[in-house]
Amino acid sequence: MADELIFKPVAELAALLDAKKISAVELTQAVVARTQAVEPQVRAFNSFDQADALAQAAASDARRSAGQGRGPLDGIPVGIKDVISVAGQPLTASSKMLANFVSPYDATVTEKLRNAGAVVWGRLNLDEFAMGSSTENSAFGATRNPWDLTRVPGGSSGGSAAALAAGEAIATLGSDTGGSIRQPAALCGVVGLKPTYGLVSRYGLIAFASSLDQIGPFARTVEDAAIVLGAIAGHDERDSTSFKTEIPDYRTELKQRNGPWRIGIPKEYFGAGLDPEVAAAVEKAIAFYRAQGCEIKQVSLPHTEHGVSVYYIIATAECSSNLSRYDGIRYGHRAKQAKDVVDLYFQSRAEGFGPEVKRRIILGTYVLSSGYYDAYYLRAQKVRTLIRQDFLNAFREVDVLLTPTSPTPAFKAGEKADPLAMYLCDIYTIGVNLAGLPGVSVPCGFSSGGLPIGLQLIGQPFKEAELLAIAHAYEQAHNWKDRHPTL
């Protein structure tokens, strides 16, 4: 029974819990047992607190017995990327800089999950400070892809995607700055949703690039993603970038909204560098929508070619600013051998940050420096506006855009040692962050080597209900969600 439970979707488990056919403690025990069994291979977690999780589950069962259930997430173990605050639990960002830091408070999304009755479960591995596309940059060791342990799970939210795919959680949260939810979702064969910028509070999220970061869910199904989004979305006074907008019932709407829809295919996303097997799987998805009566229209996003350059100027500039707080004085790693306060800054940061984080801080400091600000940062912000306008122009003609999520299936660990090669993994996802749009990755097939492939649907601002409905229509007609890795 335990093995059956760990791969069931939230919606199905919630029905079993409501009918008292299973208990939250039983479900949580199954997840804990699975984690203990496969974690030595997958290494998705930085830490987990089994006793705390079981106590939360027991409280959920007590609520249900008293007729006070809190909805579909009550008693469901949800894993949290180790860059989102959970009071009393480690908050490391997978960095030596924060190796011994314990969060004094809950992030808004953590509060919302607790209010929904979820069992907040574990701290999931990531690329250090969310900087990477493979979860190889973690100070605590790389996470492996459950479908092939020699390959990466994607990044930076690789732990969140791998834990879900491996049955170590029922849903998880990640953060997405340039594709860090959607790309690992595609590589691990799960659903990953990056909401519109401002829809989900960033309060309690360790900042990488504040104008790009957004928290979102990983789930087994589109319906599950809708359930989790409904729990965490909404305005928050503690986040100055949080947007006031009505939050619909995403779960109900995805079943009520029916096509046909107008689907745009950006020609710039189907050129050189796209793996033939990925292209073939995505083309089959396009053919499915066409067969459903959807209007398929080729569109152009002419500034796509500048996306990677613009992203790695803006993101590194913001990272340089955000990470200046880690100085060895107030909290975090402090060097023991320092001659004076300036040397303490240098030594603490040299010891506490890994190579990729240092690389991005240096790049960001450079593009913000006197004499280079106008040439790089200001110009990048102008091109960012053009990229956003490309999307808005396309949405005058279509409802959503359909693209590959990642140019290739999961690659071998250590294969992309060149930073630029790694940066190009995000070529289809970063535009969504630069434009502040919602995007979802949905499984759409497997490579000849048995590796998952994902398609990306990009929606209009704050139109997650429509985006999820279109994704749900595809998912319901295919059985990709029913396949799981063997560990």
Q: How far apart are CA 284 and CA 287, in angstroms?
A: 5
Q: Measured in whole angstroms, how far is the alpha carbon of residue 322 from the centre of its chain?
A: 20
Q: How far apart are CA 87 and CA 78, in angstroms?
A: 15
Q: How far apart are CA 321 and CA 475, in angstroms?
A: 41
Q: What are phi and psi of 236, to 5 degrees?
A: -140, 120
Q: How far apart are CA 168 and CA 274, in angstroms?
A: 31
Q: Taking Cα atoms as reference points, which of 163, 187, 221, 225 lies closest to residue 481?
A: 221
Q: Give 42's DSSP letter.
A: H
CB-facing half-sphere around the CA of 20: CA atoms within 13 A: 8
Helix, strand, or coil (residue 406): coil
Helix axes 307-322, 379-394, angle to 10 degrees: 120
Q: State the catalytic residues.
A: 81, 156, 180
Rg of the Cα trace of the chain? 21
Query: Any bridge partners for residue 445, and if so which?
Result: 453
126 within 8 A of 156, measured Cβ to Cβ: yes
94 within 8 A of 126, measured Cβ to Cβ: yes
